[in-house]
């Protein structure tokens, strides 16, 4: 049974105390994922277990026990996502182009990157970020990108209202306030 109540998905998951406990949860998750038919990832709190275990199955089934993102690119890519907890809903999210993940059940670090010819790499990279977010009570809607960044037009009136985005958050304000943010490079002009 996959949880679809948002309030339950907002609960922060706790670390598992052993790899064995994590593996048991991982087995249940992979079973649910297989039964879902169209799912490529699942987090323990989506089946009512508030523990830090998730699975992804894009290129191969991967159980992640107490996963941590230890490095990520600043650069983001946009990705159309769905979620087994929100059937029929889709959002365009902003995700890091690459992430490095540490877990308790894999030796060394796991690297995921969307910079490849293979679309499955992008799926896997977005999926691992989506599932780890679940463990922090974050859903894909929190990562939604509604604006498409583009270059600032050559000339804008100081009091003209513009919309800017940093890839996660979008705000509308007067150009004289927005200009320093856009010039800092952290924000870009947006069309909504
Ligand atoms: Zn999900």
DSSP string, 73-88: -S-EEEEEE--TTSTT
How many angstroms is it from 186 CA to the middle of ligand 1?
28
Question: Which regions of the chain are under pLDDT 50?
Answer: 192
Q: Write down the catalytic residue from 14, 21, 131, 169.
A: 131
Residue 149 is predicted with a pLDDT of 53
Residue 192 is predicted with a pLDDT of 39
Distance CA 60, CA 62 (A): 6
Residue 66 is predicted with a pLDDT of 98
Active-site annotation holds for 131: yes
How many angstroms is it from 23 CA to the middle of ligand 1?
20
How many angstroms is it from 166 CA to the middle of ligand 1?
23
Tracing tokens 């275990």 back to the chain, one arrives at 53
Exposed / middle / buried, residue 38 (Cβ in 10 Å: 0-12, 13-18, 19+): exposed
How many angstroms is it from 39 CA to the middle of ligand 1?
9
């Amino acid at each position: 049974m996959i949880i679809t109540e948002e309030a339950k998905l907002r609960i922060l998951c706790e670390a598992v105390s052993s790899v064995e406990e994590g593996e048991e949860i991982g087995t249940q998750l992979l079973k649910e994922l297989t039964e879902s038919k169209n799912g490529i990832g699942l987090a323990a709190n989506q089946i009512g277990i508030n523990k830090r275990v998730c699975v992804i199955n894009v290129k191969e089934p991967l159980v992640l026990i107490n996963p941590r993102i230890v490095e990520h690119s600043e650069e983001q890519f946009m990705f159309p996502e769905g979620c087994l907890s929100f059937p029929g809903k889709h959002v365009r999210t902003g995700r890091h182009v690459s992430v490095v993940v540490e877990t308790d059940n894999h030796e060394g670090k796991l690297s995921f990157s969307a910079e490849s010819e293979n679309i499955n790499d992008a799926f896997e990279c977005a999926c691992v970020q989506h599932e780890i977010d679940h463990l922090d009570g974050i859903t894909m809607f929190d990562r939604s990108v509604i604006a498409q960044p583009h270059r600032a037009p050559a000339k804008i009136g100081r009091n003209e209202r513009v919309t800017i985005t940093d890839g996660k958050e979008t705000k509308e304000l007067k150009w004289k306030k927005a200009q320093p943010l856009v010039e800092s490079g952290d924000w870009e002009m947006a069309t909504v």
